[in-house]
Chains A and B, each alone.
Chain A
Amino acid sequence: MAQLVKRYFFGFYNLILGLVTTGKHLGRHAVTIQYPKERWTMPERSRGMVVLLTDHETGQLNCTACLLCLRACPTAAIEIEVEKDEKGKRRPKEFVVNYHLCCFCGLCEEACNFAAIKLAPKYEFPEWNSKDLVWDKKKLAEMGFDVPYEKPERKKAEAKKAPAAKAAAEGDGDVTAAEPPTPPVQPPDNKSGHDTTDGGETTSSEGGG
């Protein structure tokens, strides 16, 4: 009997405790937000959509069409068509990111030496038509136009060495197995260097391994 009374009192105490707990929570502010009306400010390095960054001084894309991102991409979501401008400098003629394949891993951003490609903290890009999820260069540049980034400060010697070393490390990949491994980066001052690729070469990742 005493046991029973004790049990009832203990149970009653716990019931009150529960009410106090929920009462406290009733007074707190909600942790959710009203999504379409207000949005989280995403952290700067959060991985949202893939964009191409623009150099605001020259108005040109930072991309040098070195194809490092293409090789780094684990799902082969990137396609690049290389061309040369009048100075012989490499630049992407076409740059396609296929969001059906993209897994937002950020490896392309890590591979890039020129702050040309970045996963911006924007996450809302739904489309009615699935074809619209394959973004071309124009769209990528447009979406990345106002994305803030730090331009890497690099000296010319380093710029020559580091990408070359990286290219050597990755050069034996099977992406462009048909061709001899090409140094993917053309340093700006090296006009008459080892230039094995033609201007209109298309390197598509599907064509490789």
Chain B
Amino acid sequence: MELAPIFIWLYNKMLEFGLGITAADIISLVVLAVVVFGFLAVTALFLVWWERKISAHIQQRFGPMMTGWHGALQTIADAVKLIQKEDILPALADRKVFFWAPVIVFVCSFAAYVVIPFGDGLIVSDLNIGVLYIVAITTFTIIALLMAGWGSNNKYALLGGMRSAAQAVSYEVPMVLAVLGVVLVTGSMSMNDIVRMQSAWGGFRWNIIFQPLGFLIYVIAATAEANRTPFDIPEAEQELVAGYNVEYSGMKFAMFFLAEFVNLFTVSAIAATLFLGGWNGPWLPSWVWFLIKTLGMVLLFMLFRWTYPRLRVDQLMEFAWKGLVPLAFVNLVYVGIVARWLNW
């Protein structure tokens, strides 16, 4: 069952009810914001549980089993516990920076969902610079992580923030170059256009078929963008205690934690949209296809996390600048030649 007609029907009902177009727009935007927020909050809770289960089963444990079916309510219990916790402010913290850092992380990771197409027509706003917007808004979280590290007035937090910034700047370059390949063949930055371009062949003309190298580069760079193992040096537990969020507690910590998993879902959704055909697919409703592909990518990222050891800082930089950036340029040249040759 497609969901987009429901929203259109509701919008038309509001117009029929006698509301002006402006009022109807504002109401529908608020409703959409609440719906997207609710969906992402539930998804983040689910992903935390899923990650724990997958890590446990890879290590042949059970993971959470007590609360709910196979521990499904464990994250809700954790969230309730975090809400009850005292909000501790370090004595020498930079108060404003310390306060605003989790807010910015939270807002930025959620703002990316403005342009992500959840299904056929299920997009909050189809910006014509969608890809650029996503790249810009997800990079913004790095500033917030640096703020968190600086504001905490803690050497571990500051080291985590600095590492995060260095890593993000390095991996942003190959990621954007890989995404550029998709933009090149589509001729548009709109997410909807990119998805529609892949709807040929019964919905299986995916970009990954023509740009496997681009997909690989994107996945590696996205792992680094989402600060996940093997690129999790900003919060390397063995070295930095917890990295940038070491001084945070209670709800602020929960916001960082939630944003981390929302970011994971974001990079997976972008990978699914740009390279795996988005919501295209036969038989099932479009949003189900989107969820299947995105959760498949999430599963891949989780397997990465529980398989690979962490890179050292110098290895990380070397891999980005000497490995991924040249490969990304090779991919870009290849895409340009093939696109011209096949006359896409």
Contacts and interface: CB of A to CB of B under 8 A. Distances in A.
Contacts of B323: 8
Interface residues of A, number: 15
B241 interface: no
Contact of B60 (A15, A21, A32, A34): A32
B307 A28 contact: no
B59 interface: yes
Contacts of B65: 34
Contacts of B304: 19
Q: Which of A18, A22, A30 gathers most chain B CB within 10 Å?
A: A22
A22 B58 contact: yes
A22 B62 contact: no
A30 B60 contact: yes
B99 to A, nearest CB: 40
B307 A26 contact: no
B62 A30 contact: yes
Contacts of A22: 58, 303, 306-307
Contacts of A29: 60
A15 B308 contact: yes
B312 interface: no
B96 interface: no
A97 to B, nearest CB: 35
B305 to A, nearest CB: 10
B54 interface: yes
A180 interface: no
B57 interface: yes
Interface string A20-62: 0111011011111010000000000000000000000000000
Contacts of B61: 30-32
Given A8-B323, A26-B54, A34-B65, A19 B303 contact: yes
A205 to B, nearest CB: 44
Interface of A: 8, 15, 18-19, 21-23, 25-26, 28-32, 34
Given A23-B303, A25-B58, A32-B62, 11 more contacts: A15-B308, A19-B303, A19-B307, A21-B307, A22-B58, A22-B306, A22-B307, A26-B58, A26-B303, A29-B60, A30-B62
21 contacts: A15-B308, A18-B307, A18-B308, A19-B303, A19-B304, A21-B307, A22-B58, A22-B306, A22-B307, A25-B57, A25-B59, A26-B54, A26-B57, A26-B58, A26-B303, A30-B57, A30-B60, A31-B60, A31-B61, A32-B60, A32-B62
